[in-house]
Structure 1
Amino acid sequence: MIDLDDTDRAILRALALEAGVSAGALGRRFGLSQPAAWRRVKRLEEAGVLAGVQVDVDRAALGFGVTVFLGVKLATKGRVSLEDFERAVAAIPEVQVIQHVLGLFDYRLRVVARDIADFERVLRRRIMTLPGVGNVEANVLLTEERRPGPLG
């Protein structure tokens, strides 16, 4: 684990909000020279704290106006391997995130669709026909607020 000071945490918060910000801009924002800011970012990358750059795609602008979180409980855990289920669900392009979780459900899926009718089609024709699917619970996303994470 790497020791982080307040400046490191501030840099991480800034990068979480705007991944493409330059080292020069980070330096000006936090009272560092451009090389000093670059060295801090490089150190965070080398320590594995920064694992990559992420681009946020505006799904609504692409015509995907509905996001649904699905809780999926497998009906026959012994008959269908988790790997088989994961492989099958990963082949569905509308499924953006697959999380294997503990609790009431075995999986949590983030599904995008053009509208509710499109989501119903994906649910009925693709997700409910997957091997081993038992109970499914859907939660439609109304709003989303992003936070940079537990950085102090």
Structure 2
Amino acid sequence: MTAIDATDRAILRALQEDATLSSGALADRVSLSQPMTWRRVRRLEEAGILAGRRLDLDLAQLGFGVTVFLGVKLATRGRVALPDFERALGAIPEIQTVEHVLGLYDYRLRVVARDLADFERVLRRRIMTLPGVGDVEANVLLSEERRPGPL
């Protein structure tokens, strides 16, 4: 485990707020020189603490008006290799997240679709045809009050 100090935490907090900051702008925020800031960011990346940067897209603006959370229970007959199942899920672009969970279901999926008819198509033709799929429960997202953000 890599030790992080208050300056590392300040860098992580600033990047969580705006991952597009240049190393110079980030250096100004954390009161370090640009080279020192760059070295710290690089160390955090190499340690796997800073695992990447991404954009948050407005799905509705892109035409994806429906988000559905699926609980998927694998069938008990005919065991499915979990890595193969997860790889098959990863090949479906409408599935935004795949979470292997403990509880009533084996997997929790976040699926986006243009509308309910499009979701039904994805569910019937892509998800339900995967080997090993047993029970599926769908919950349609009505609103999202809090998105993942800074720790």
**TM-score higher than 0.5:** yes
Cα distance in 2, alignment partners of residues 83 and 34 from structure 1: 42
Unaligned runs of 5+ in 1: none
Cα distance in 2, alignment partners of residues 83 and 31 from structure 1: 44
Shift of 1:66: 1.4
Shift of 1:84: 4.0
The two structures have a TM-score, normalised by structure 1, of 0.85
Unaligned runs of 5+ in 2: none
Give the equivalent residue in structure 2 for 1:147: 149
Give the equivalent residue in structure 2 for 1:107: 107
Matches within 5 A, 1:49-128: 49-128=49-128
Give the equivalent residue in structure 1 for 2:16: 16
Residues 77 and 85 of structure 1, relative CA distance in 2, 3 Å threshold: farther
Give the equivalent residue in structure 1 for 2:5: 5
- Amino acid of the structure 2 residue aligned with 1:128: M
Shift of 1:72: 0.1
Cα distance in 2, alignment partners of residues 88 and 100 from structure 1: 14
Cα distance in 2, alignment partners of residues 47 and 131 from structure 1: 37
Matched residue of 1:61: which SS?
A: coil
Give % identity.
71
